[in-house]
C-alpha cells in the first residue's frame, strides 16, 4: 500500500541516499550497491550510519523486489512524477542528511562523500557540478549540454543569484532540516529547480563539488523530455520571480505611460507635440492611460505573489518588504483608492460641465477624459487590490501582520 506523503520521519540515522524509481530494473542493483559502498565508507571513516531509500513510483518490472532483496528500504509513491517520488522518499527517509540521485547509473554515489563532508562543515545544500567535473561521451545530449542546461542555469542565477554553476545536476545533498524548510511541492522534473530556487530565496548556505556524469545505463529512452521539461523548468523560474515577472515589466510599462501622458499634457490644448519625426497628440493619451492602469495591475499581482511566497515560508521577509506591506494594508489601499476615484469623478464632472455649457454638442476634451478614466480605473484597482492582498494575508485583513506578527518596525 502507498504510504502517506505528508508525514516526515524523525531522523534516527545520519545519512539517507534516496533514489526515485520507475521501472529501473536494469540499473537499480548497480546503483544500490554503489550507494551501499558509499555508506560503508562513511561508516568506516566518519562513524555515520545510513540507509538506502528507493522511492518507487509504480514500477511493474520488479524493481521494488530487487531493491528490497538488496536491503534497501522501499517507499511507494502513488502520485506519478519525478518530484512526487523524491518528495515522498525524502520525507520518509530517516537520515538527518539526504543524498539525492538517479537510479539510472548516471552518477556514482561514491562521489557524494564530499557532499556529506560539506554538510558536516555547516552547509545546508551541496550540489554536484557536472560542468566542473566531467561529462562522459554520450552522457548528455548536445542540446541539453550546450543549450538547455547553460540557459536554465543562467536564468536561475540571474533571477535568484544561487551562485551555482550547474543548478540542475541530478545528484545533490542537503540536510533534512533544510529540505523541510524549503518544502518543495513540484511533482515533475522542476522539483530539482525548486530546491535550488527556494534555498537561494531563504538564504540557505550553498556550495558545490565536481561530479562525473556517466551515460544512462538503461536500454531505453530516459524519462526526461527535454523540450517539455525544459519549458516546465523555465516556467517555474519565472513564476517564482515576482521581480522579473511583475515588477520590472510594471516599471517599464508605467514609465512609458507616465512619460507619454506627460508629453501630451505639456502641449497646448488641442495641440500636437513634435519629437523629431514623431507627432504626439491627444490620441496617444489613450494608450498612455491604459499603460498606467496596466502597470498598476501588474504591480498588484507582484505584491500578491510576493506575499504568497512569504506566507508559504520560502521568501525571506526583509525590513523593506515589511514596510511595503504595512503601507499597502487594506485601510491605506481603500483611502488611496477613494482619493483616486474622487479625482476621477471631479475630472469627469468638469467634462460634463463643459459638455453642458456647449449644449451637449461636439466635445474636444480627449485629454480630460483619459485622465478621468485613468483615475477611476486605478482607483478601483487599488481598492480591490487591497482586498485581494488582505484575502491572501488572512482573516485579519492585515498584510504586515500576516508576514510578521511583530509588525513593520520590529527590526527582525
C-alpha cell at 172: 545533490
pLDDT at 401: 57
How many Å apart are CA 18 and CA 94, to the nearest integer? 10
pLDDT at 58: 93
- Residue 18, classed as helix, strand or coil, is strand
Beta carbons within 8 Å of 395's beta carbon, 6+ residues apart: none
pLDDT at 220: 58
Alpha-carbon separation of residue 318 from 15, 42, 240, 330 (angstroms): 34, 39, 17, 20
pLDDT at 6: 56
pLDDT tens, the chain, 412 aa long: 334 445 788 899 999 999 999 999 999 999 999 999 999 999 999 999 999 999 999 999 999 999 999 999 999 999 999 999 999 999 999 999 999 999 999 999 999 999 999 999 999 999 999 989 999 998 887 777 777 778 888 999 999 999 999 988 999 999 999 999 999 999 988 898 899 999 999 999 999 999 999 998 776 555 556 667 778 888 889 999 999 999 999 999 999 999 999 888 887 776 677 767 777 778 888 999 999 999 999 999 999 999 999 888 888 888 888 888 888 889 999 999 999 999 999 999 998 988 888 888 777 788 889 999 999 999 999 999 999 998 888 755 555 555 554 443 333 2
Please say whether the beta carbons of 200 and 161 come within 8 A: yes
CATH of region 13-239: 3.90.550.10
C-alpha cell at 102: 538517479
Query: In which element (H, E) is residue 278 found?
Result: strand 278-280
Q: How many CB atoms lie within 10 A of CB 109?
A: 23
pLDDT at 406: 45
C-alpha cell at 399: 498584510
pLDDT at 400: 58
How many Å apart are CA 302 and CA 297, to the nearest integer? 9
Secondary structure, 3-state, 206-274: EEEEEEEECCCCCCCCCCCCHHHHHHHHHHHHHHCCHHHHHHHHHHHHHHHHHHHHHHHHHCCCCCCEE
The b-or-e profile of 266-297 (16+ CB within 10 A means b, else e) is eeeeeeeeeeeeeebbbebbbebbbbbbbbbb
- Residue 126, classed as helix, strand or coil, is strand
User: What's the gap between Cα 125 and its chain centre?
Assistant: 17
Beta carbons within 8 Å of 255's beta carbon, 6+ residues apart: none
What does the domain layout of the chain look like in residue ranges? 13-239, 242-403
Query: In which element (H, E) is residue 129 found?
Result: strand 125-135
Beta strands in 1-124 (DSSP E): 13-21, 50-56, 73-76, 95-100
Amino acid at each position: 500500500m502507498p504510504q502517506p506523503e505528508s508525514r516526515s520521519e524523525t531522523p534516527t540515522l545520519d545519512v539517507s541516499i534516496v533514489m526515485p524509481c520507475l521501472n529501473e530494473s536494469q540499473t537499480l542493483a548497480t546503483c544500490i550497491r554503489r550507494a551501499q559502498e558509499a555508506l560503508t565508507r562513511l561508516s568506516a571513516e566518519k562513524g555515520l550510519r545510513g540507509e538506502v531509500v528507493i522511492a518507487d513510483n509504480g514500477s511493474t518490472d520488479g524493481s521494488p523486489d530487487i531493491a528490497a532483496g538488496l536491503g534497501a528500504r522501499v517507499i511507494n509513491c502513488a502520485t506519478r512524477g519525478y518530484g512526487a517520488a523524491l518528495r515522498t522518499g525524502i520525507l520518509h527517509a530517516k537520515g538527518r542528511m539526504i543524498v539525492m540521485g538517479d537510479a539510472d547509473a548516471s552518477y556514482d554515489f561514491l562521489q557524494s562523500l564530499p557532499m556529506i563532508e560539506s554538510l558536516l562543515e555547516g552547509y545546508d545544500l551541496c550540489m554536484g557540478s557536472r560542468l566542473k567535473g566531467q561529462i562522459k561521451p554520450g552522457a548528455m545530449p548536445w542540446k541539453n549540454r550546450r543549450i538547455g542546461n547553460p540557459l536554465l542555469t543562467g536564468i536561475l542565477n540571474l533571477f535568484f543569484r544561487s551562485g551555482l554553476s550547474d543548478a540542475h545536476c541530478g545528484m545533490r545533498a542537503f540536510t533534512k532540516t533544510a529540505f523541510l524548510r524549503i518544502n518543495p511541492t513540484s511533482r515533475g522534473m522542476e522539483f530539482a529547480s525548486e530546491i535550488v530556487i527556494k534555498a537561494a530565496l531563504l538564504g540557505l548556505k550553498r556550495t558545490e563539488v565536481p561530479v562525473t556524469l556517466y551515460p544512462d545505463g538503461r536500454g531505453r529512452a530516459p524519462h526526461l523530455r527535454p523540450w517539455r521539461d525544459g519549458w516546465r523548468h523555465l516556467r517555474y523560474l519565472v513564476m517564482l520571480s515576482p521581480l522579473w515577472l511583475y515588477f520590472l515589466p510594471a516599471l517599464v510599462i508605467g514609465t512609458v505611460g507616465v512619460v507619454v501622458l506627460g508629453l501630451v499634457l505639456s502641449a497646448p490644448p488641442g495641440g500636437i507635440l513634435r519629437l523629431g519625426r514623431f507627432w504626439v497628440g491627444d490620441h496617444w493619451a489613450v494608450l498612455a492611460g491604459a499603460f498606467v492602469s496596466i502597470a498598476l495591475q501588474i504591480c498588484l499581482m507582484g505584491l500578491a505573489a510576493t506575499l504568497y511566497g512569504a506566507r508559504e515560508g520560502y521568501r525571506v521577509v526583509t525590513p523593506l518588504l515589511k514596510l511595503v506591506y504595512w503601507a499597502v494594508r487594506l485601510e491605506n489601499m481603500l483611502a488611496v483608492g477613494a482619493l483616486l476615484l474622487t479625482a476621477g469623478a471631479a475630472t469627469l464632472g468638469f467634462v460634463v460641465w463643459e459638455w453642458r455649457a456647449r449644449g451637449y454638442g461636439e466635445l474636444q476634451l480627449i485629454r480630460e477624459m483619459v485622465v478621468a478614466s485613468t483615475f477611476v480605473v486605478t482607483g478601483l484597482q487599488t481598492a480591490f487590490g487591497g482586498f485581494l492582498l488582505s484575502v491572501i494575508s488572512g482573516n485579519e485583513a492585515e498584510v504586515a501582520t500576516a508576514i510578521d506578527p511583530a509588525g513593520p518596525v520590529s527590526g527582525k
